[in-house]
Amino acid sequence: MLESDDPLLISGRVNYRDEEVGMFVDNVHRLSELRETEAKSMLIKIGAESLNQESVSLLRRTLQKYSGDKPFTFSVQTPEADSVTITPEERINITSTLIEELEEILPHQTLEFGYPSLKNFR
């Protein structure tokens, strides 16, 4: 896992003794796998420059394709630098394929995930 290019979430503790630093790893997880198993929600941050009729239609079709049980929210930055939050009633299934498609539709936007069971991680 450490040799792959996949982002990892590593938990453990650091030990500093006699001017030497050691790390004791408790768990190593691929971030993509954690998103699918642990993420309870998704926030899609969108800049106003990314909003056009074509991208909105494609975004809507993509989210409908991954219908599921997890909530998602849009945070849209307006041209006036205000932020508008929209939480649709629809739910999604958070998968690696969905994330890849969203990153293709909105390449310069931010996706954030809620991990209540991993609240100690930043």
pLDDT for res 119? 54
The predicted model scores a pTM of: 0.70
Per 3-state DSSP, the chain is made up of helix, strand and coil in percentages (nearest 5) of 30, 40, 30
Q: How many CA atoms are closer than 13 Å to the CA of 4, on its beta-carbon side? A: 10
pLDDT for res 118? 62
The pLDDT profile of the chain, 122 residues, written as one tens digit per residue, is 778 888 888 888 999 888 899 989 888 888 878 778 888 999 999 887 777 888 889 999 999 999 999 999 999 887 777 888 999 999 999 998 999 999 898 887 788 888 776 654 43
pLDDT for res 67? 94
